[in-house]
Structure 1
Amino acid sequence: MQRHLIALDLDGTTLNSKSKLASETIATLHQLERAGHIVVIVTGRPYLISKHIYDALHLTSPMVNFNGALTHIPHKHWAGEQILNVSREMSLNLLDAKDQLGLKTLVAEDKLHVWADHPTDMLPEFLPVKLRDDQYLNAKNLATDPIALTIEFTPEQKTTILGQIAERYGDFVEPRIWGGPYDIMELIHRGVHKEDGLDHVAKFYQIDRQNIIAFGDEQNDYEMIDYAGRGVAMKNAIPLIKEIADDETEYDNDHAGVARYLKAYFAKDLADLN
């Protein structure tokens, strides 16, 4: 058996449209890890809102968060941990210029902490609905460099905001605009993509690119799908991802598309476990 690295985006890929894991997905990934393969979550989500998924899958492998800016093994000290921060100074400067730039909400996060200028119920799965006193974004509470900023912006001022960020901080960060109906952008370390975290894990475990299988559905999966020896687009993926993928799942994320693809691809390995 050749050991593989199996890289999994979460939303729209491993998770169904209700952000849940199918029992078939949990069982299949657990079996593949038992068979000796490395199963790695590679997500744009912060760790704090994805660790429950990692735990539900009973994984022991590394995890990649913030689109590649954090690579770590949850609940453990790992010599390979990698963190690529943005600056505290930039975060506080944007907070000061919030009204001028048309920024509605600012959220700064690192591996274990979240700070926001105010609570919001606009997108409760991703942005904080409640804040303790020490979680309000200000110079006192934000004592170190965060990993990422999430910004809800006024759509009419999008061009102005992007121009100001490029002028002031373009050498260090780049904005990523969310897809879908939300006026939200993320700021992470310039040039960082999911591919970077995946490559870091592959080199740590000495796994060749040809033995990497990566699953994704959205634009932030592009570099990872292109990098993997076998990039697999979900049936529900956007056309851009399907164009560069080596293969496509027969089923979408609401019908355990990842699990069914992996069960067919690793049929012999899974049979050997029984």
Structure 2
Amino acid sequence: MQRHLIALDLDGTTLNRHSQLDAETIATLHQLERAGHVVVIVTGRPYLISQRIYDQLHLTSPMVNFNGALTHIPHQKWAGEKIAKVSRQMSLDLLDAKAELGLKTLVAEDKLHVWADHPTDMLPEFLPTTLRQDQYLNAQNLLDDPIALTIEYTPEQKQRVLNQIDQRYGQLVEPRVWGGPYEIMELIHRGIHKEDGLDHVAKFYQIERQNIIAFGDEHNDLEMLDYAGHGVAMKNAIAVIKAVADDQTEYDNDHAGVARYLKKYFKRDLADLN
């Protein structure tokens, strides 16, 4: 079988409901790398809260964070590193308009840093629960353009916030409203999707689209699955993802759905390793 690029969303896909990797997934992905395939995490998560997963998988390939806004190889300098940023001034303007717009929390991030207007226990896996003085979001600490801005908003103000962002910054950014029960949206560079990072990695390794297999479950995976030669929706995926995918896993993310699918798909490659 030809060399493949295996693109993995994390939450709801490769990780179980507890945001953990199971042993079967770790072993399967390690075997596929040994067989010569390229395993790439493609996630909406910032690098700071996904590095541990990359390290658990012992990967050496690139990683895509912030829904395509950061493509890099962790722990090393890579000439192919690609970053799409948002405006520092926009971040500070929204901070100033926090009360007016009904914003509860603002978090700005780049590859290695996070700044927030206050600590929060609302979503400890994703938002900072403690802050050093140099991590508070203000003009003195935020000196450069960040990669992304995460906003927790008051539910009844959602449409007003979206309208204001579109009017003031619509040419620069587009909001990505989180799925599930959260009142959270992310702002990244307009036009950037997971597909952009995946395409960048595929070209670096000279892997054709027909040899890209991608897994996902939520709205932010749509462009990636549509781009991949073989897009796979998780059993637990939302309907729109299942509609665009070429196939679906037999098992969900709590039952090693990705690993079990890959073991069947690459059965011959894995058998050759034994």
TM-score range, shorter chain: over 0.9
Which string of whole-angstrom CA distances, capped at 9 and with x for unpartnered residues, describes residues 45-93 of structure 1? 0000000000000000000000000000000111110000001000000
**In the TM superposition, what is the alpha-carbon distance from 1:273 to its structure 2 partner?**
1.0
CA shift at 1:159, angstroms? 1.4
1:182 and 1:246 mapped to 2: Cα distance? 29
Please say if 1:110 is aligned against 2:110. Answer: yes
Structure 1: which amino acid aligns with 2:131? L
Alignment-derived partner of residue 132 in structure 2: 132
Q: Where does residue 193 of structure 1 map in the other structure?
A: 193
Whether 2:78 is the aligned partner of 1:85: answer no
Identity of aligned residues (%): 82
**Unaligned segments of structure 1, at least 5 residues:** none
**2:59 alignment partner in structure 1:** 59
Give per-residue Cα distances to partners, 1:117-141, cap 9 Å, x unaligned. 0000000000000000000000010
Distance in 2, Cα, partners of 1:269 & 1:75: 29
- Aligned 1:27-46 pairs, distance under 5 A: 27-46=27-46
Residue 96 (structure 1) aligned with residue 96 (structure 2) = yes
Say if 2:23 is the partner of 1:23. yes
Q: Match for residue 251 of structure 2?
A: 251
TM-score, scaled to structure 1: 0.99
State the match for 2:69 in structure 1. 69
SS at match of 1:39: strand
Question: C-alpha separation between the residues in 2 aligned to 1:231 and 1:61?
Answer: 20
Aligned runs of 1:116-265 on 2, under 5 Å? 116-265=116-265
Return the offset for 1:268: 0.7
Alpha-carbon distance, 1:163 to partner: 1.0
Cα distance between partner residues in 1 of 2:8 and 2:48: 17
| 1:15-40 Cα deviation digits (max 9, x unpaired) | 00111101000000001001100000
The offset of 1:254, in angstroms, is 0.5
- Alpha-carbon distance, 1:155 to partner: 1.1
Structure 2: gaps spanning 5 or more residues: none
1:211, 1:117 → 2: CA distance?
A: 44
Instruction: After TM superposition, give the deviation of residue 245 of structure 1 in Å.
Output: 0.6
Cα distance, 1:157 vs. partner?
A: 1.1
The offset of 1:264, in angstroms, is 0.6
| CA displacement at 1:158 relative to structure 2 | 1.2
Question: Residues of 2 paired with 1:250 and 1:37: CA distance?
Answer: 22
Instruction: State the distance in 1 between where 2:183 and 2:255 align.
Output: 29
Q: What is the CA–CA distance in structure 2 between the aligned matches of 1:179 and 1:70, rounded to whole Å?
A: 21
Give the counterpart letter for 2:21 in structure 1.
L
1:156, distance to aligned residue in structure 2 (A): 1.1
Q: Secondary structure at the match of 2:261?
A: helix
TM-score (norm 2): 0.99
Displacement of 1:210 = 0.1
Q: How many angstroms apart in 1 are the aligned matches of 2:94 and 2:167?
A: 13
3-state SS of 1:214 partner: strand
How many correspondences in the alignment?
A: 274
List structure 1 runs of 4+ shifted beyond 4 angstroms: none
Return the alpha-carbon distance in structure 1 between the equivalents of residues 157 and 269 of structure 2.
Answer: 53
User: C-alpha separation between the residues in 2 aligned to 1:21 and 1:56?
Assistant: 8
